[in-house]
């Protein structure tokens, strides 16, 4: 489920950590695997909160009915939410239950927060509109569930709990929430059931996930093993710049780009160059994209002429810098 762009950003963070902490490629590889595994945990924590809120709703509604002086609405509560088919299928999904037992236990210790989140959600227009329709169908239940997920992921107390659980998640929370949001929207009535394999951020059973992870592993290894050689290439092409004064993040981005250009024959040169320019916008300064683009333009032509880049297909850079 993780995009290659996102995996490149995780590799960049590991390359940076290796530079700062003096780790070798083997240790960096182990740490990278651990950090990706933690993304699975984060993803499950996010969606398992929905099922916990679903369970808690029944308790809250029943408590209202049993008040000493309940309101008319509390005496005869609208139970439509408790019959939400989409959330029920989530709660019954065998794999999600297993993942929740492994990773989602923190919500048991934050029952007050879960309760508070449901109480606040039922004040929203989307919840009230959902209850106002006497009839329901799977699509309506799904739309409400997706909006519940969005509400929870923007609830400050929820974000704070997850940030406290792992410092690694501070930068990843929003991106993983976006992946989960899109995943929930793809679940359909015909295939979504208790036996369906639950989608996680990185699933070894999924060929695409494994191919993308193999790409990231190779990129990390090749970048670290050949970093000194790559740095020498960069030094030779600096005009009016001292290598030591170039931003470290820019150097690391170019190191990664060189590794990808040489070791990933199936990825067009243009794709690689564009990816690292985009990463520079996220992780470096405003002017970095111009510097990185300039250096990579020179390196692509030189590496190709030396026979170190061997690629074919659409999207490649021509000798003049245009697209083939």
Number of domains in the chain: 2
pLDDT band at 72 (very low <50, low <70, confident <90, very high): low
Residues 147 and 250 in one domain: no
pLDDT of residue 324: 39
Of residues 168 and 276, the one with the higher pLDDT is 276
Residues 128 and 251 in one domain: no
Last residue in a domain, options 186, 206, 241: 186
CA distance 114 to 118: 6
pLDDT of residue 257: 97
260 burial class (0-12, 13-18, 19+ CB within 10 angstroms)? buried
pLDDT of residue 319: 37
- Is residue 100 domain-resident? yes
Mean pLDDT calculated for residue range 289-302? 93
pLDDT tens digit sequence for 25-63: 999 999 999 999 999 999 999 999 999 999 999 998 887
Residues 287 and 155 in one domain: no
Mean pLDDT calculated for residue range 55-84? 81
Residues 71 and 141 in one domain: yes
Residues 8 and 57 in one domain: yes
For the chain, the average pLDDT equals 91
- Is residue 208 domain-resident? no
pLDDT of residue 122: 94
In this structure, the number of other CB atoms found within 10 A of the CB of residue 172 comes to 22
Residues 94 and 233 in one domain: no
CATH number at residue 297: 1.10.940.10
Residues 121 and 243 in one domain: no
- Is residue 204 domain-resident? no
Query: Over 50: is that where the pLDDT of 321 sits?
Result: no
Of residues 74 and 1, the one with the higher pLDDT is 1
Residues 247 and 180 in one domain: no
Decide: 249 and 288 in contact? Cβ < 8 Å: yes
pLDDT tens digit sequence for 134-159: 888 999 999 999 999 999 999 999 99
Whether the CA torsion 178, 183, 189, 195 is positive or negative: it is negative
Please tell me the pTM assigned to this model.
0.88
CA distance 298 to 161: 47
pLDDT band at 102 (very low <50, low <70, confident <90, very high): confident
Strand partners, 323: 317
Query: Over 50: is that where the pLDDT of 77 sits?
Result: yes
100 burial class (0-12, 13-18, 19+ CB within 10 angstroms)? buried
Query: Over 60: is that where the pLDDT of 318 sits?
Result: no
Buried/exposed 175-188: b ≥16 CB within 10 Å, e otherwise: bbbebbeebbeebe
- Is residue 203 domain-resident? no
Q: What is the DSSP letter of 109?
A: G
pLDDT tens digit sequence for 258-286: 999 999 999 999 999 999 999 999 999 88
Decide: 84 and 144 in contact? Cβ < 8 Å: yes
Query: Over 50: is that where the pLDDT of 200 sits?
Result: yes
CA distance 67 to 170: 40
Domain that holds residue 122: 4-186
């Amino acid at each position: 489920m993780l995009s290659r762009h996102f995996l490149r950003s995780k590799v960049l963070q590991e390359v940076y950590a290796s530079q700062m902490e003096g780790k070798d490629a083997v240790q960096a590889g182990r740490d990278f695997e651990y950090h990706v595994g933690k993304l699975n945990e984060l993803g499950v924590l996010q969606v398992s909160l929905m099922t916990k809120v679903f369970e808690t709703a029944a308790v809250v509604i029943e408590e209202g009915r049993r008040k000493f002086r309940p309101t008319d609405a509390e005496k005869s509560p609208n139970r439509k939410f408790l019959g939400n088919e989409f959330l029920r299928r989530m709660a019954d999904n065998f794999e999600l239950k297993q993942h929740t037992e492994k990773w989602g236990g923190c919500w048991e210790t934050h029952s007050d927060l879960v309760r508070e989140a449901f109480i606040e959600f039922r004040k929203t227009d989307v919840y009230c509109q959902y209850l106002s329709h006497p009839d329901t169908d799977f699509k309506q239940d799904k739309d409400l569930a997706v909006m519940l997920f969005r509400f929870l992921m923007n609830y400050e107390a929820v974000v704070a709990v997850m940030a406290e659980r792992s410092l690694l998640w501070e930068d990843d929370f929003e991106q993983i929430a976006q992946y989960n949001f899109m995943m929930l929207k793809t679940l359909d009535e015909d295939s979504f059931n208790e036996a369906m394999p639950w989608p996680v951020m990185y699933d070894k059973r999924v060929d695409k996930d494994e191919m993308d992870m193999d790409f990231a592993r190779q990129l990390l290894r090749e970048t670290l093993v050949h970093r000194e050689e790559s740095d020498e290439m960069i030094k030779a092409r600096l005009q009016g710049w001292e290598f030591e004064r170039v931003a470290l993040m820019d150097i690391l981005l170019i190191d990664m780009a060189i590794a990808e250009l040489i070791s990933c024959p199936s990825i067009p040169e243009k794709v690689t160059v564009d990816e690292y320019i985009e990463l520079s916008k996220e992780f470096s300064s405003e002017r970095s994209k111009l510097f990185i683009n300039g250096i990579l333009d020179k390196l692509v032509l030189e590496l190709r002429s030396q026979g170190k880049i061997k690629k074919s297909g659409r999207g490649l850079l021509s000798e003049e810098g245009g697209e083939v």
